[in-house]
């Protein structure tokens, strides 16, 4: 267990090397349709950024503002498992001075669920039930919340 943790720390990106760069539509279009379909894109209600490790693009992070602040992330396969969900969500919370951040994850996306849990997100049963009862969230999603 300790060796796995040490390996994870060594493979993780360092927070000081990660930044949120200006959104670039050509980079967005370079991602696979399958990846693009994982994120709700609407620049009228969302703010989007490129996740950068120094000068290397690692993915896209979005903040959707609809009564709550919803965090979205797409990571390139080469950047997965390197603590970017935590670093990116921390950067978003800091940039927008948020105390609470939400994420909805497909129940079958185990890797994403684990990544969000490692980043400090916790399942929010109460609000999930409320949103589903009002048909504002589909049944195959799980609502997670991260608090500061």
Classify strands 141-147 and 122-123 as parallel, antiparallel or unpaired.
antiparallel
Token output for 122: 């916790």
Cβ-based neighbour number of residue 10 at 10 Å? 7
Answer whether residue 64 is part of any domain: yes
**Closest listed residue to residue 83, CA positions, set 142, 11, 30, 131:** 11
Answer whether residue 2 is part of any domain: no
CATH number, residue 85: 3.40.630.30
Structural domain span for residue 69: 12-147
pLDDT (tens, 9 = 90+) of the chain, 148 residues, equals: 555 544 544 467 788 889 999 999 999 999 989 888 888 888 889 999 999 998 899 999 999 998 899 999 999 998 998 999 999 999 999 999 999 999 999 999 999 999 999 999 999 999 999 999 999 999 999 999 999 9
Answer whether residue 91 is part of any domain: yes
Residues 115 and 95 sit within 8 Å (Cβ to Cβ):
no
Domain count, the chain: 1
Unique residue bearing structure tokens 């129940």: 107
CA dist 136 and 66 (Å) reads 11
Answer whether residue 58 is part of any domain: yes
């Amino acid at each position: 267990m300790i060796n796995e943790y040490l390996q994870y720390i060594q493979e993780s990106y360092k927070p000081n090397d990660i930044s949120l760069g200006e959104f670039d539509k050509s980079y967005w279009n370079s991602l696979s349709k399958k990846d693009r379909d994982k994120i709700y894109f609407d620049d009228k209600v969302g703010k989007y950024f490129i996740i950068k490790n120094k000068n290397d693009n690692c993915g896209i992070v979005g903040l959707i503002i609809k009564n709550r602040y919803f965090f979205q992330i797409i990571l390139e396969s080469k950047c997965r498992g390197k603590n970017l969900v935590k670093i990116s969500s921390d950067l978003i919370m800091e940039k927008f001075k948020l105390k609470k951040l939400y994420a909805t994850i497909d129940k079958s996306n185990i890797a994403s669920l684990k990544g969000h849990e490692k980043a400090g997100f916790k399942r929010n049963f109460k609000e999930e039930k409320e949103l589903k009862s009002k048909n504002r969230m589909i049944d195959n999603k799980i609502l997670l919340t991260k608090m500061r």
